[in-house]
A and B are shown apart, each in its own frame.
Chain A
């Protein structure tokens, strides 16, 4: 494909890459080396390696891990079942629509649902469990996050399942594989790219959510994202905020590397359309 576009038409795009992709990362790195007065220092990094911040990072990881696992466990069967349905594309749209409703609104809904006098507590009282504090707990944070991420997990998994050639399943059956064996040895490996894409789409945002922690978990759960927001907008300590951001960026690249799919594999297994 040569000479498709002239050099000039690419200038805005290159400018975008330099200004909004490369420069911001460099700036975050630069600011992480500054203290509150703008002097050069490694103090922020020293502080990050104290127990307070390490504990926070670990707990943020743990929450993100739980959120990803639960989303995957709920989404995989759902995506699988949708591919078997007659009007699968319509069903897929129905799954995606909630993801287009503003995140804040969905989170806000749970303030009412999990509230002290909300429907869940009304139900608890009816079955004799009594009033429970649901809002501002770990549970509510994980539940709401999983709720929000389910469509983002279903979508890539659905796409990879949908590309799967049904003949492979038939072949496995003919060769004597049980349903579980077929699932474990054929379906899962061949949809690995979808699973990885889903994990990537959930795990990284789960590390960095801050509005859900603020609205649903009170200040009980502090994720890396919450800490960054706190440092930037509340404490106004951009240096420390940038240091946490640097680590979040590093983690992000590690996860991208681990879950990155090879281009070739994807095309090879694709059903020829």
Chain B
């Protein structure tokens, strides 16, 4: 591998700084005792305290987490079963059609998903609020789970299943004791992606949430529209912290998984 030049290193460093500067800028001012992102007066944790003392904000935070966990759980179950179904299709054309259908929601802009779900929920008569948001999140997370699980299924050797069948395993045994353990890393990755999709979503939630229910993204949007509030900065500090923990956790688990799970 050739060494990269100084200029190249400088360029990469520049990109990195651009990527991180806004985030650190936000976090830096979250410790400002003033009330704007202009002059740093003195260090304080008041804005963090304000987040934890604001019941409304805490409820929104809990809502966000509940929606994320539930939607990740349901979409992982449905998506994994869907992926197994797609992988088992023998008709190539049908399989490709299913895959394109699957990917529609991944490439669709959020606004389209949000607007069309709003029409759907209104027509079916689902009250806008927790249920509609949860259903929406499950719906847009399913395809990403399928995408994460499918490669694992495709790399799986079919003779494993044949062997299991020859040894007398029932269909159910094959699913729970052969297929699922093998594709576990994919399922895990799918769950994690679904979780981050849900936590990150703004546009779809913004469309399908009613008056009484809000998630963190929607709340941040309305706070930011009202003007600068250092509470938002404190929230970003917390979000960044949690994200780093999640990323590191995911990274280490997947490293351990691949180390334990090397079969080749």
- Inter-subunit contact A100/B142 (CB<8 Å): no
B78 contacts which chain A residues (CB < 8 A)?
A: 12-13, 16
Answer whether residue B225 sits at the interface, using C-beta atoms and an 8 A cutoff. Answer: yes
A188 close to chain B: CB less than 8 A: no
Chain A interface, >50% SS class: helix
Closest CB-CB distance, B246 to chain A, in whole Å?
8
Query: Contact: A104 with B116, CB < 8 Å?
Result: no
Interface contact B171-A6, CB-CB below 8 Å: yes
Contact A229 B20 (CB under 8 A): no
CB distance from A19 to the nearest CB of B (A): 8
Once the chains are docked, how many angstroms separate the CA of A58 from the CA of B162? 56
Q: Is B11 an interface residue (CB 8 A)?
A: yes
Please give the distance in Å from A156's CB to the nearest CB on chain B. Answer: 13
The answer to the question of A245 belonging to the interface, with a C-beta cut-off of 8 Å to chain B, is yes
In contact, A4 and B179 (Cβ under 8 angstroms): yes
Q: Could you tell me how many residues of chain A have their Cβ less than 8 Å away from some Cβ of chain B?
A: 80
Does B60 lie at the interface of the complex (its beta carbon under 8 Å from any beta carbon of A)? Answer: no
Chain A: minimal CB distance from B130 (Å) = 18
CA gap between A20 and B84 in the complex, in Å? 20
Please give the distance in Å from B166's CB to the nearest CB on chain A.
13
Q: Is the CB of B38 within 8 A of A118?
A: yes
B104: chain A residues within 8 A (beta carbon): 21, 25
A1 within 8 A of B: yes
A102–B118 touching, CB < 8 Å? no
Q: Name B residues whose Cβ lies closer than 8 Å to a Cβ of A.
A: 1-2, 4, 8-9, 11-12, 15-16, 18-23, 25-26, 29, 36-38, 77-79, 81-82, 84-85, 87-88, 90, 98, 101-102, 104-105, 107-113, 115-120, 123, 139, 142, 153, 158, 161, 171, 174-175, 179, 196, 199-200, 202-203, 206-207, 216-217, 220-221, 224-225, 228, 232, 235-236, 239-240, 243-244, 246-247, 251
B18 touches A147 (CB 8 A): yes
> With the chains together, A238 CA to B207 CA distance in Å?
12
What is the predominant secondary structure among interface residues of chain B facing chain A?
helix
Closest A residue by C-beta to B86: A13
Answer whether A2 and B110 are a contact pair too, CB < 8 Å, given A25-B116, A102-B199, A113-B22. Answer: no
Given A1, A74, A82, A211, which contacts B203 in the complex, CB threshold below 8 Å?
A211
Q: B109 touching A98 by the CB < 8 A rule?
A: no
Contact of A2 among B26, B88, B206 (CB under 8 A): B88
Q: Is the CB of A13 within 8 A of B82?
A: yes
Give chain A's interface residues, CB within 8 Å of chain B.
Answer: 1-6, 9-10, 12-13, 16-17, 19-25, 27-28, 31, 74, 77-78, 81-82, 84-86, 91, 93-95, 97-98, 100-113, 115, 117-119, 147, 150-151, 200, 204-205, 207-208, 210-211, 214-215, 224-225, 228-229, 232-233, 238, 241-242, 245, 248-249, 252, 256
Q: A27-B119, A100-B247, A101-B243 are in contact. Are A4 and B110 (CB under 8 A)?
A: no
In the complex, the answer to whether A115 meets B37 with C-beta atoms within 8 Å is yes
Cβ contact within 8 Å between B107 and A215: no
Contact of A249 among B25, B112, B251 (CB under 8 A): B112
Seed contacts A21-B101, A119-B25; 17 additional CB < 8 Å A-B pairs = A1-B153, A5-B85, A10-B81, A13-B79, A13-B81, A20-B117, A28-B112, A86-B1, A100-B247, A108-B232, A109-B236, A113-B21, A115-B38, A205-B110, A207-B109, A229-B206, A238-B119
Distance, CA A91 to CA B12, complexed state (A): 10
Task: Count chain B CB atoms within 10 A of each CB in A4, A109, A110, A147 and give the residue with the most.
Answer: A4
Task: Give the distance in Å from the alpha carbon of A248 to the alpha carbon of B203 in the complex.
Answer: 16
For the complex formed, measure the closest distance between the CB of B254 and the CB atoms of chain A, giving whole angstroms: 11
Closest partner residue, chain B, to A82 (CB atom): B12
